[in-house]
Chains A and B, each alone.
Chain A
């Protein structure tokens, strides 16, 4: 019986990749994201102009052969600013999500595993944070700390801690009653080991999926905060601040606001497609095996 039970039709870990790669939308999302990342990395090589170079003669030029996406109020090349702006968006989005994920998951797993008073205190605190709309909370923190790249990252990270903690806590509560966690305790595993090797790996799929979706939200928050002037201070180009500047001239020069908006749209779309595809691939019930 030992040999026959190892049927080759059983789902193997490789099945996740198979399910992911057979989904056409996941490739669209992945290709878009890779393209955006490559543009951000290769910005100095790709950008046709210096993003900070001003020119009084070439103010508010519409898209042309020289300035593919036109120029802004100060005569700066919109395409070059867009390319350099992707760096800020991606760095802010990924670093903020990484911080929020680390802190949020740690809080969520510990609270879920320990339960009791610690759990209630932490969840009460996080409920207070969740009660504020993301943007309002980010705005408050950014306004308190002042406008800089680091503070922007901190502000966005803080707004995303609560949802990560929630997502980590709920399955932790379900997992800690699972037989293999009790069996682990019966083998003498301490709480830290149980949280680290029995609970965390079983949460990874949920967390990865949520990260890609929330990175999209972090990029939106970055754009919104930059839009109202609480983001990275000028003249550094960011998509959000470009939209704000373009907004003032939307009737005269539509290209100023439209192209950065499209860039945000594409990035968020790529992350959402990727997140959905990952979720479908990781969840065996949606994988259709």
Chain B
């Protein structure tokens, strides 16, 4: 992929580990991923697949006790975020790379007005006076389309609905015009109509601000709506990486195919939904071979022995981690 422009963010061989009972277990295993300029890259997977841990590792927001980045690099503008000091990280957080979270109901400080919270984010990175920051906060509230922003600026978070709080979170994240936005399931807690509005708005703002977005979700419907490329994660590793069209048209990994079959669609009867048997293995009990093998309907004996690599299939932009698929020994 040498012809591609310099990525906005590049993760190389990231390994994030958690301490359980005195030993360290990887929750994200050897993950490499690059986020291109102005791209929306969706990271999909079940709960416990390591999606959020990946995002938290990028900004180094994991709890200092019991979690560590074991190895790997997170390259942003020529610097490795994994080795920066906490002070240097603070300059990057919210300024160059911002993050929005899943739970809008609890992600705002209940004791401060939303205006003060947005202004606070502006002041720490941009400096300036409180009045200027409040004026900018007002502009941001207008930009995320909060109704009657002049009066809402002085309201407290509990006076906002979930969808509006998520807009406020987005306004805060955009306060310093970040180059990268990490969105950790930003619409999961919202109902479907509000979800569509927020997604549309995120996409508009991404265009307006020229951001790259790493969008974490477990909802393939959302992926189809907003993503350019998709990384499917399972048990801490990427099992398939493809453009959104290629992934939906031709899912290569058995896990991706199973996820698509488990997704409700308007053009199919809902009784054809197939759940995936079993569950994601615990970080303490990752199989030595292919992590998905115990749940895979195409499992061969070799799957349990050899851990497959993430390799290009026929299409160079379409990577898959399945030895059966790459050997052509499986009919999709």
Q: Mark each residue of chain B from 146 to 176: 1 if its CB lies under 8 Å from any CB of chain A, else 0.
A: 1110001001101111011000010011010
Interchain CB contact under 8 A, A182 and B159: no
Bound complex: CA A180 to CA B111 (Å): 11
Interchain CB contact under 8 A, B106 and A178: yes
Interchain CB contact under 8 A, A179 and B112: no
Q: Is A188 an interface residue (CB 8 A)?
A: yes
Q: Is B222 an interface residue (CB 8 A)?
A: no
Q: Mark each residue of chain A from 98 to 127: 1 if its CB lies under 8 Å from any CB of chain B, else 0.
A: 000000000000000001100000000000
Q: How far is the CB of B140 from chain A (nearest CB, A)?
A: 13
Interchain CB contact under 8 A, B92 and A179: no
Contact residue among B63, B65, B101, B111 (Cβ-Cβ distance under 8 Å from A183):
B101
> In the complex, which of the residues B90, B109, B160, B163 has the most CB atoms of chain A within 10 Å of its own CB atom?
B109
Specify which chain B residues have a CB less than 8 angstroms from the CB of A1 in the assembled complex: 161, 163-164, 194
Q: Is A67 an interface residue (CB 8 A)?
A: no
Interchain CB contact under 8 A, A180 and B109: yes
Q: Is A131 an interface residue (CB 8 A)?
A: no
Bound complex: CA A2 to CA B156 (Å): 15
Bound complex: CA A2 to CA B161 (Å): 8
Interchain CB contact under 8 A, A187 and B93: yes
Q: Is B121 an interface residue (CB 8 A)?
A: yes
Q: Is A279 an interface residue (CB 8 A)?
A: no
Main SS class of interface, B: loop
Bound complex: CA A5 to CA B112 (Å): 19
User: In chain B between 262 and 297, which residues have their CB closer than 8 angstroms to a CB of chain A?
Assistant: none
Q: How far is the CB of B163 from chain A (nearest CB, A)?
A: 7
User: In chain A between 169 and 214, which residues have their CB closer than 8 angstroms to a CB of chain B?
Assistant: 177-180, 182-190, 193, 197-198, 201-202, 204
Bound complex: CA A198 to CA B92 (Å): 20
Bound complex: CA A185 to CA B101 (Å): 12
Interchain CB contact under 8 A, B61 and A186: yes
Q: How far is the CB of A19 from chain B (nearest CB, A)?
A: 16
Q: Is A3 an interface residue (CB 8 A)?
A: yes
Contact residue among A10, A178, A197 (Cβ-Cβ distance under 8 Å from B112):
A197
Bound complex: CA A187 to CA B59 (Å): 10
Q: Is B319 an interface residue (CB 8 A)?
A: no
Q: Is A235 an interface residue (CB 8 A)?
A: no
Interchain CB contact under 8 A, B145 and A188: no
- Using known A-B contacts A2-B164, A13-B156, A188-B95, determine if residue A180 contacts B172 with beta carbons closer than 8 Å: no
- Using known A-B contacts A116-B65, A186-B59, A187-B93, determine if residue A5 contacts B109 with beta carbons closer than 8 Å: no
Specify which chain B residues have a CB less than 8 angstroms from the CB of A182 in the assembled complex: 61, 101, 107
Q: Is A251 an interface residue (CB 8 A)?
A: no
Interchain CB contact under 8 A, A188 and B124: yes
Q: Is B317 an interface residue (CB 8 A)?
A: no
Specify which chain A residues have a CB less than 8 angstroms from the CB of B68 in the assembled complex: none
Interchain CB contact under 8 A, A179 and B160: no
Q: Is A57 an interface residue (CB 8 A)?
A: no
Interchain CB contact under 8 A, A179 and B106: yes
Q: How far is the CB of A243 from chain B (nearest CB, A)?
A: 43
Residue on B nearest A114 in the bound complex, by CB: B64
Interchain CB contact under 8 A, B161 and A180: no
Specify which chain B residues have a CB less than 8 angstroms from the CB of A2 in the assembled complex: 145-148, 164
User: In chain B between 95 and 147, which residues have their CB closer than 8 angstroms to a CB of chain A?
Assistant: 95, 98-101, 103, 106-112, 120-121, 124-125, 145-147
Known: A186-B99, A197-B120, A204-B111. 7 other contacts (CB 8 A): A2-B146, A2-B147, A10-B159, A179-B101, A185-B61, A188-B92, A201-B112
Enumerate 14 A-B pairs (CB-CB under 8 Å) in ascending A order. A2-B146, A2-B147, A6-B155, A12-B156, A115-B65, A179-B101, A180-B108, A185-B61, A186-B59, A186-B99, A186-B101, A190-B90, A193-B124, A202-B111
Q: Please name the 4 residue pairs, one residue from A and one from B, whose CB atoms are nearest each other, closest first.
A: A2-B147, A187-B94, A188-B94, A5-B161
Task: Report B's interface with A, CB cutoff 8 A.
Answer: 59, 61, 63-65, 87, 90-95, 98-101, 103, 106-112, 120-121, 124-125, 145-148, 152, 155-156, 158-161, 163-164, 169, 172-173, 175, 194
